């Protein structure tokens, strides 16, 4: 395959997200402008201007009308996807790390970093249909675990919130009461910071990637550990194929070490694993730095990766990818 | 043509107004191959009129199923930084390099079938196909493992004789009947008591040089020839490394000097393979 290279960002990529139909690809980077691309040919559709810090995460509503972005400038902003106009800005006392729309787009969950003595929080905001009626009040605030919460997402039927972060523990919270329902086992769970979390297409299970050089597949309801994919590099990003029983894991040595070693030694490929057999299927090379973000197109026929090198690489799979037998 | 006369100062101020001077945008195609040409005119930084021809190929994707909403989005106007993006920005490029999904194994090997599993490993394949060939010299088991992988190699009795094996001399090895998986330095091997002086003598005293050998002569042949005179520790035939053809001389090392002497007396001038052998003491190299 010949990947499409998109060089719209001047700083390392942090997050990638497809909309539901898979025709738009949203990219976030440490430069201040989240960008939207056409996911088929990589043409840039627009940028969302207004943030004043690294953008860590984004999510797009099911109807592809709203975009929510969380940034290190201590704001979370709502955008009109079509025009790039800012609809609303939630202000926080610390950098926002992760955002996720609930099923139905009526709620959004946001995590904020520990900052200036403040603990990290998980906050749920109600998203009004009309941006003029939007309020900044939190429906729920969870002040819990120590350390940064790198990823947060909604559990099945919005009943739970799943969070994971620096303390390597995956937690499931009750959406109504904010109580901690489940915690991953310290023995079998991750040993180091969880950097990424990606749900399956149906939301029944999710994949977490960690700096302990492994990715783990969990049941979203029971938080049972289903599978572990071991690799030889810290995992920064992971994604589950919606079409085949594949998962893709990306990472590489830490950015600070990149200049001191060879590109080949850095292991900057996106590695494909068989979801069930846990066996490696193959690797896709190309980035000059660690992979920070990975996303599968909802049709499962292409995927994109974003790297520390500032490039988004959009890969449309060759036909023989779909005939791989294990 | 009056464009060339414009000075840069004028251009700075009213570059916008000059756009009407440019020829209109021309779109050619797409033709039957889907090739579309867009010809645009603009001013570059130096104020020169530039023609930009963009050639694109429009291709129908067989599997493209776009929803109505997605089609609608296709025609959305660009916004943000993308709205005033110049044609030369080249933010999106198709990789010049073909990137493949690199498989950890060869794409042909199928894991679920055990008989194909060994296909990638020639040694393993040989082990399965020619199981009879695989006889462990330590425990004598057939077809189970190679000598070097013998699980009982630590329990095996130490071999009592050692014959210095020249490279590639299979017959010598088989004749010796001994061979252990782990490397043991010669001084540590069985029969090492005598080897301390033996080794030194081998090089200078008991070595016999054989010349005028035919090209077909190999080490086993020399072994056969000289064995009759007494125990031989080493047979070596010089072989050209590039062509693999014998260079016509070799060395034979005897355990006992008397045996070597008898061999020289008997075989010097002996007709062997239509050639008359010359056998003499190997002169030690001056070092």
For chain A, which residues make up each domain, given as ranges? 13-183, 185-326
Tell me which chain A residues have a C-beta less than 8 angstroms from the C-beta of B66. 21, 23
Is B86 an interface residue toward A (CB < 8 Å)? no
Q: Do A8 and B91 make contact, defined as CB atoms within 8 angstroms?
A: yes
The shortest CB-CB distance from B92 to any of A42, A84, A318 is to A42
- To the nearest whole Å, the CA of A266 is away from the closest chain B CA by 16
The shortest CB-CB distance from A325 to any of B66, B83, B110 is to B110
Q: Do B95 and A286 make contact, defined as CB atoms within 8 angstroms?
A: yes
Is B115 an interface residue toward A (CB < 8 Å)? no
pLDDT for B193 equals: 53
Q: Give the mean pLDDT of A255-274.
A: 73
pLDDT for B163 equals: 46
Tell me which chain A residues have a C-beta less than 8 angstroms from the C-beta of B105. none
Name the more confident of B63 and A61: A61
- A102-116, B11-25, B109-123 — which one is most confidently predicted on average? A102-116
Give the nearest chain A residue to B57 (CA atoms).
A41
Q: Which of A301, A253, A257, A308 is nearest to A286 (CA)?
A: A308
Size of interface A-B (CB pairs under 8 A): 115
Q: Give the per-residue SS3 of chain A.
A: CCCEEECCCCCCEEEEEECCCCCEEEEEECCCCCEEEECCCCCEEEECCCCCCCEEEEEECCCCCEEEEEECCCEEEEEECCCCCEEEEEECCCCEEEEEECCCCCEEEEEECCECCECCEEEEEECCCCHHHCCCCEEEEEECCCCCCCEEEECHHHCEEEEECCCCCEEEEECCCCCEEEECCCCCCCCCCEEEEEECCCCCEEEEEECCCEEEEEECCCCCEEEEEECCCCEEEEEECCCCCEEEEEECCCHHHHHHCCCCCCCCCEEEEECCCCCEEEEECCCCCCEEEEEECCCCCEEEEEECCCCEEEEECCHHHHHCCC
- Show the domains of chain B with their CATH numbers: 1-62 (no CATH), 157-281 (3.30.70.330)
- To the nearest whole Å, the CA of A181 is away from the closest chain B CA by 39
Count of alpha carbons within 13 angstroms of residue A180, beta-carbon side:
12
The shortest CB-CB distance from B69 to any of A2, A21, A46 is to A21
Q: Give the mean pLDDT of A182-199.
A: 92
Q: Do A48 and B70 make contact, defined as CB atoms within 8 angstroms?
A: no
Which of A96-110, A115-129, B117-131, B251-265 shows the lowest per-residue confidence on average (mean pLDDT)?
A: B117-131
Q: Do B111 and A281 make contact, defined as CB atoms within 8 angstroms?
A: no
- To the nearest whole Å, the CA of A286 is away from the closest chain B CA by 7
Q: Do B95 and A325 make contact, defined as CB atoms within 8 angstroms?
A: no
Q: Do B92 and A282 make contact, defined as CB atoms within 8 angstroms?
A: no
Please, which pLDDT band fits residue B108 given cuts at 50, 70 and 90?
very low
The shortest CB-CB distance from A6 to any of B83, B91, B99 is to B91
pLDDT for B125 equals: 46
Please, which pLDDT band fits residue B116 given cuts at 50, 70 and 90?
very low
Name the more confident of A102 and A259: A102
Distances (CA, A) of B99 to A2, A211, A274, A289, B91: 6, 26, 20, 16, 20
Give the nearest chain A residue to B107 (CA atoms).
A324
Give the nearest chain A residue to B110 (CA atoms).
A326
Is B81 an interface residue toward A (CB < 8 Å)? yes
- To the nearest whole Å, the CA of A271 is away from the closest chain B CA by 9
Q: Give the per-residue SS3 of chain B.
A: CHHHHCCHHHHHHHCHHHHHHCCCCEEECCCCCCEEEEEEEEECCCCCEEEEEEEEECCCCCCCCCCHHHHHHHCCCCEHHHCCCCHHHCCEEECCCCCCCECCCCCCCCCCCHHHHHHHCHHHHHHHHCHHHCECCCCCCECCCCHHHCCCCCCCCCCCCCCCCCCCCHHHHHHHCCCCCCCCCHHHCCCHHHHHHHHHHHHHCCEEEEECCCCCCCHHHHHHHHHCCCCEEEEEEEECCCCCCEEEEEEEEECCHHHHHHHHHHHCCCEECCEECEEEECCCCCC
Please, which pLDDT band fits residue B8 given cuts at 50, 70 and 90?
low
What are the tens digits of pLDDT across the range A294-310?
Answer: 999 999 999 999 999 89
Q: Which two tokens stand for residue A89?
A: 């800005």
Give the nearest chain A residue to B112 (CA atoms).
A326
Tell me which chain B residues have a C-beta less than 8 angstroms from the C-beta of A326. 111-112
Rounded Cα–Cα distance for residues B29 and B32 (Å) = 8
Q: Is B104 exposed, middle or buried (0-12, 13-18, 19+ CB in 10 A)?
A: exposed
Give the nearest chain A residue to B97 (CA atoms).
A2
The packing angle between helices B257-267 and B219-227, to 10°, is: 100
pTM, entire model: 0.63
Do the domains A185-326 and A13-183 match in fold? yes
CATH architecture of A185-326: 7 Propeller (2.130)
Rounded Cα–Cα distance for residues B47 and B7 (Å) = 8
Q: Give the mean pLDDT of A245-253.
A: 89
Q: Give the mean pLDDT of B250-275.
A: 87
What are the tens digits of pLDDT across the range A45-73?
Answer: 999 999 999 999 999 999 999 999 999 99
Q: Do B73 and A313 make contact, defined as CB atoms within 8 angstroms?
A: no
| Torsion over CA: A187, A190, A193, A199 (sign) | negative
Spatial contact of A185 and A194, defined as CB atoms under 8 Å apart: no
CB atoms within 10 A of CB B283: 9
- To the nearest whole Å, the CA of A319 is away from the closest chain B CA by 12
Which of A133-142, A279-288, B137-146 shows the lowest per-residue confidence on average (mean pLDDT)?
A: B137-146
Q: Which of B105, B232, B84, B100 is nearest to B165 (CA)?
A: B232
Name the more confident of A34 and A147: A34
pLDDT for B131 equals: 47
Name the more confident of B80 and B193: B80
| Torsion over CA: A287, A290, A295, A300 (sign) | positive
What are the tens digits of pLDDT across the range B139-178?
Answer: 766 666 767 667 666 655 544 444 444 444 444 444 444 4
The shortest CB-CB distance from A23 to any of B70, B81, B95 is to B70
- To the nearest whole Å, the CA of A12 is away from the closest chain B CA by 15
The shortest CB-CB distance from B104 to any of A2, A280, A325 is to A280
The shortest CB-CB distance from A272 to any of B69, B93, B101 is to B101
Rounded Cα–Cα distance for residues B226 and B106 (Å) = 50
Tell me which chain A residues have a C-beta less than 8 angstroms from the C-beta of B70. 21, 23
Q: Which of B246, B175, B236 is nearest to B208 (CA)?
A: B236
Spatial contact of A226 and A219, defined as CB atoms under 8 Å apart: yes
- The mean pLDDT value of chain B amounts to 71
CATH architecture of A13-183: 7 Propeller (2.130)
């Amino acid at each position: 395959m010949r990947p499409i290279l998109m060089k719209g960002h001047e700083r390392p990529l942090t997050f990638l997200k497809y909309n539901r139909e898979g025709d738009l690809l949203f990219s976030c980077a440490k430069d201040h402008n989240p960008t939207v691309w056409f996911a088929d040919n990589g043409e840039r559709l627009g940028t969302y201007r207004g943030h004043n810090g690294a953008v860590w995460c984004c999510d797009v509503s099911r109807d592809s009308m709203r975009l929510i972005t969380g940034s290190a400038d201590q704001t979370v902003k709502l955008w009109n996807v079509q025009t790039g106009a800012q609809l609303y800005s939630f202000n926080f006392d610390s950098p926002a790390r992760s955002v996720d729309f609930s099923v139905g787009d009526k709620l959004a969950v946001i995590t904020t970093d520990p900052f200036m003595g403040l603990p990290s929080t998980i906050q749920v905001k109600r998203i009004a249909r009309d941006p003029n009626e939007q309020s900044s009040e939190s429906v729920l605030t969870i002040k819990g675990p120590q350390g940064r919460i790198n990823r947060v997402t909604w559990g099945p039927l919005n009943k739970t919130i799943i969070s994971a972060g620096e303390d390597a523990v995956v937690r499931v919270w009750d959406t109504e009461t904010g109580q901690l329902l489940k915690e991953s086992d310290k023995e079998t769970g991750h040993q180091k910071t969880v950097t990424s979390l990606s749900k399956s297409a149906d939301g029944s299970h999710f994949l977490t990637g960690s700096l302990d050089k492994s990715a783990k597949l969990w049941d979203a309801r029971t938080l049972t550990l289903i599978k572990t994919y071991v690799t030889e590099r810290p995992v920064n990003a992971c994604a589950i194929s919606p079409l085949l029983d594949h998962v893709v894991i990306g990472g590489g040595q830490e950015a600070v070490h990149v200049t001191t070693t060879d590109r080949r030694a850095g292991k900057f490929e996106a590695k494909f694993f068989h979801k069930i057999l846990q066996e490696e299927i193959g690797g896709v090379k190309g980035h000059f730095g660690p992979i920070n973000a990975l996303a599968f197109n909802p049709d499962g026929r292409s995927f994109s990766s974003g790297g520390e090198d500032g490039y988004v690489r959009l890969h449309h799979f060759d036909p023989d990818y779909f005939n791989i037998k294990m | 043509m009056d464009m060339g006369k414009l000075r840069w100062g004028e251009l700075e101020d009213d570059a916008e107004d000059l756009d009407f001077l440019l020829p209109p945008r021309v779109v050619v195609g797409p033709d039957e191959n889907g090739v579309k040409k867009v010809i645009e005119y603009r001013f570059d930084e130096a104020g020169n009129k530039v023609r930009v021809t963009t050639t694109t190929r429009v291709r129908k994707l067989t599997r493209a199923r776009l929803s109505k909403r997605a089609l609608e989005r296709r025609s959305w106007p660009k916004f943000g930084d993308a709205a005033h993006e110049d044609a030369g920005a080249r933010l999106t490029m198709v990789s010049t390099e073909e990137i493949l999904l690199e498989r950890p194994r060869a794409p042909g090997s199928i894991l679920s079938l055990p008989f194909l599993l060994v296909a990638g490993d020639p040694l393993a394949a040989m082990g399965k196909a020619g199981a009879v060939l695989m006889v462990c010299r330590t425990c004598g088991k057939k077809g189970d493992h190679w000598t070097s992988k013998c699980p009982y190699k630590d329990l095996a009795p130490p071999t009592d004789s050692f014959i210095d094996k020249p490279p590639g001399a299979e017959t010598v090895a088989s004749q010796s009947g001994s061979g252990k998986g782990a490397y043991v330095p010669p001084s540590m091997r069985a029969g090492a008591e005598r080897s301390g002086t033996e080794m030194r003598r081998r090089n200078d005293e008991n070595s016999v040089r054989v010349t005028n050998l035919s090209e077909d002569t190999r080490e086993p042949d020399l072994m056969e020839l000289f064995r009759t005179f007494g125990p031989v520790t080493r047979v070596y035939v010089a072989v050209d490394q590039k062509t693999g053809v014998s260079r016509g001389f070799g060395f034979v090392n005897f355990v006992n000097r008397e045996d070597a002497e008898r061999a020289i007396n008997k075989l010097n001038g002996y007709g062997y393979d239509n050639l008359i052998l010359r056998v003499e003491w190997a002169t030690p190299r001056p070092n």
